[in-house]
């Protein structure tokens, strides 16, 4: 969803913005998503490390593996959001396409 920008959104306001402002708003949105991703990486990793010594009583596997998707997902969200932000920033700097 982050790579293709398919998050749920209400685009009523964005669709009414002029071309450059629309692209600039997309840059800001993706930068905010990247910030959320960084928070997920940092605190997800802390949670992963905090539960490192604990093992599942019934299955015997490390419980911290349950929390590993949090920092991994945060990292992917950060990378894809930054890539999208750069793409929209380039779009904002290009001449407006003729319709």
What lies within 8 Å, CB to CB, of 91 at 6+ separation is: 23, 26
For 16-60, the pLDDT digits (tens) are: 888 888 889 999 999 999 999 999 999 999 999 998 888 888 888
For 50-61, the pLDDT digits (tens) are: 988 888 888 888
**Residue in the structure block whose two tokens are 């999208």:** 84
The whole-model pTM stands at: 0.81
Classify residue 7 by its DSSP letter.
S
Kind and range of the H or E element at 84? Answer: helix 69-93
Q: Is 55 helix (H, G, I), strand (E, B) or coil?
A: strand
């Amino acid at each position: 969803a982050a790579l293709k920008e398919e998050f749920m959104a209400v685009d009523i306001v964005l669709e009414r913005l002029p071309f450059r402002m629309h692209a600039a708003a997309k840059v800001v949105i993706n930068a905010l998503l990247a910030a959320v991703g960084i928070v997920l990486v940092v605190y997800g990793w802390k949670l992963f490390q905090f539960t490192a010594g604990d093992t599942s009583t019934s299955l015997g596997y490390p419980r911290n593996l349950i929390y590993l998707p949090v920092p991994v997902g945060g990292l992917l969200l950060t990378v894809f959001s930054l890539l999208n932000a750069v793409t929209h920033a380039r779009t904002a700097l290009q001449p407006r396409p003729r319709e």
